[in-house]
Amino acid sequence: MPASRERADAAAPGVPGATDPTATDLGATDLGATDLGATDLGATDLGATDLGATDLGATDLGATDVAFMQHALEIAAQAAEHGDVPVGALVVQGGRIVGVGRNRREVDDDPVAHAEIVALRDACRGSARWRVDGATLYVTLEPCPMCAGAIVNARVARLVYGAADPKAGAVRSLYCICDDVRLNHRVEIVAGVLADPCAEILRTFFRGARSRRAARRPRA
């Protein structure tokens, strides 16, 4: 059976969806994970010792997920500052942040530099292993097919994501890659943690991008 656990109660209203007129802000063409450099945002930058399991309440998994997602949002904001779509990701193992990623596609001219990929690479470099057994990956936006596949291949134990992506989401919106029973590894899924702020940071980014494009258009 799929090892999934949906958190419908955590999905705040206003999350982009098929009926939400802002859903086009989260389109696949706009949401290429962009600004994700592990070298810029190593685990030490985020203070693994500052965000230990004790500090985040290991006995209260919901509070822990919220705290780590808030941190992922801070990383997402850094992506926006560099002109990349604001998506942030963390890999947490044993209550410690071992991998960090933000969208770096524009900065690095790299089509696969999505936040999740960069965070997983960061974690694997630190451990000198390609697996992240027992780890939880936090990401502010539902992973795309590429990232969902990487999560499975890296043997991530839990995936916690914020906003749904109706145009490219491959965990629930379009596909169910991470807990597909046909695959050799299945991931526990927690959806909708801080969904509203995770969606709002994207809406704000795309509103700004549209305004800048409109300002550059020649007037008739």
Each residue of 76-128: pLDDT tens digit?
Answer: 999 999 999 999 999 999 999 999 999 999 999 999 999 999 999 999 999 99
Tally of CA atoms within 13 A in the half-sphere of 156 that contains its CB = 34
Mean pLDDT of the chain: 79
For residues 6 and 168, the model is more confident at 168
What's the whole-model pTM score?
0.74
Q: Which candidate, 46, 10, 14, 69, places its Cα nearest to that of 204? A: 14
Residues assigned a catalytic role = 116
Contact 163, 23 (CB under 8 A): no
